Structure formats: structure tokens, C-alpha cells
Chain A
Amino acid sequence: AQSVTQLDSQVPVFEEAPVELRCNYSSSVSVYLFWYVQYPNQGLQLLLKYLSGSTLVKGINGFEAEFNKSQTSFHLRKPSVHISDTAEYFCAVILTGGFKTIFGAGTRLFVKA
């Protein structure tokens, strides 16, 4: 069965520091990969997605993620975070050919001044 593991439930970081939020998935077939963000009191919104092609994907708000097929990972990075990046981040996969989206449990990013 497919699954998504977000290795850190909480990540505290100081403002302007770099951050990496880790995501690993398990699947025997190829997948589409997504990162969603949920700001406080707001709905989920897409940050970025990997469908095919270049393994480095750039998203909104300066975030990027790299697909690593051999390690089945899709880690999210930002070189310098802002207070406004404080939110819950969810990694998700969809099997190619399917529509069922499997989400990870989420990582709460807390940016401190």
C-alpha cells in the first residue's frame, strides 16, 4: 500500500535561516508528488508539485523541492524563511493513473524572530 511519511512533526527555526521539511513515500509504481501549505485559519493551498521532467521543482513563496526517485523522497526547502511562513505543511502523492491522494501527517513549521 502507498504511504507518505513526514519525518518531523514540528520544525522550529529562526527567521532568515534555511529550512528543510522531509518527506518520504512508498509506492511500487510511479507517482505525482505535491506539497500543500495550511496557514493558520486558512484552507489548504498548493505550494508546488512534481509531475515529470526536472527533479527540482520551484513553487510559490520561494519554496522548492527535489524529487529523488532512488530514495523515494521529496523534501521541501527554503533558503531563508520569514515569520509569515509559519504554517502546517503537508506532503502528498497520487499514483499515476489514479486519483486517490495520500497525505502525510504534516509538519508544523514555526518561525521565530
Chain B
Amino acid sequence: GAGVSQTPSNKVTEKGKYVELRCDPISGHTALYWYRQSLGQGPEFLIYFQGTGAADDSGLPNDRFFAVRPEGSVSTLKIQRTERGDSAVYLCASSLGEPQETQYFGPGTRLLVL
């Protein structure tokens, strides 16, 4: 079956612009996670959804970052007024729901802010 997909695979934008990153989880997975991975680092937790609601958004770095999952499936990570420091690979993962369940990761979106 299809895995987690993310679009676009690469995004180049200018400082100050708005970007949206999309994640399509595995069908039937109720849990969805967003992470940010900078060069040479491990993934950094941003936000976790259970169904449509953000159950834990403690990892969002500031109010420029926002994520939605309106129908409990596809999720969009939105970044306003992008800064050069936002450049990273943004990863999405989905799972069946419980924290001990395996997370299945997408290939990531590489964001470059010029």
C-alpha cells in the first residue's frame, strides 16, 4: 500500500514569504506527527495530531508556525514570514494512534529560505 507522502519534495522561497507543506498519511492512521530536521541533527518534534485535533503542539518554535488537519487525514504545516533559520527538512509521520505504535515517515520536504 501507499506510504506517507509529502509535497513538495523541495521548496525554495524568499525570506518573509509564506509557505505551506503538505502531508498525506497512511490511510487509517489516526496519529500524525510533524518534525523538523536540520543538517547533522536528529528530527525535532513540532506537533502531534490525534484525529483532527492538535494534541501536543509544544514543539512549534513560535507563532509563525501553524498546522492543521481539518478532516483527520491530510495535514498542512504553514510557516508565515519565513526566516533563513527555517531552512531544514520537514518530516511527517503517521501511526495507528497509540504512542508505542510504529511511526511511518514520509520522505520529507526540503525547505530553503533565501
Interface residues of A (CB under 8 A from B): 4, 6, 32, 36, 42-46, 49, 51, 90, 92, 94, 96-106
Is A44 in contact with B56, judged by CB distance below 8 angstroms?
Answer: no
Cβ of B43 and Cβ of A44 under 8 Å apart?
A: yes
Q: Which of B11-19, B66-74, B79-87, B100-108 contacts A (4 or more CB under 8 A)?
A: B100-108
Beyond A43-B3, A101-B45, A106-B42, 17 additional contacts (C-beta under 8 Å) are A32-B99, A32-B100, A36-B105, A43-B91, A43-B107, A44-B93, A45-B105, A49-B102, A92-B42, A98-B56, A98-B99, A99-B33, A99-B50, A100-B56, A103-B35, A103-B42, A105-B41
Known A99-B48, A100-B48, A101-B33; contact A46-B41, beta-carbon cutoff 8 A: no
Q: How far is the CA of A43 from the CA of B108 in the complex (A)?
A: 7
How many residue pairs link A and B with beta carbons under 8 A? The number is 63
Which B residues from 33 to 52 make CB contacts under 8 A with A? 33, 35, 40-45, 48, 50
Q: Are A106 and B48 in contact (CB under 8 A)?
A: no
Contact call B42/A104, Cβ cutoff below 8 A: yes
Q: What is the size, in residues, of chain B's interface with A at 8 Å between Cβ atoms?
A: 28
- When distances are taken between beta carbons in the complex, the residues of chain A under 8 Å from B93 are 44
Contact of B58 among A44, A51, A100, A105 (CB under 8 A): A100
Closest chain B CB from A5 CB (angstroms): 11
Which residue of A is nearest B47, CB measured?
A100
CB distance from B112 to the nearest CB of A (A): 18
Which listed residue, A51, A90, A97, touches B43 by the CB 8 Å rule?
A90
What residues of A have a CB within 8 angstroms of the CB of B56 in the complex? 98-100
A101 and B58 contacting across the interface, CB-CB below 8 Å: no
Alpha-carbon gap, A92 to B33, bound state (A): 14
User: Can you give 6 contacting A-B residue pairs, CB < 8 Å?
Assistant: A44-B91, A45-B105, A94-B100, A101-B43, A103-B35, A103-B44
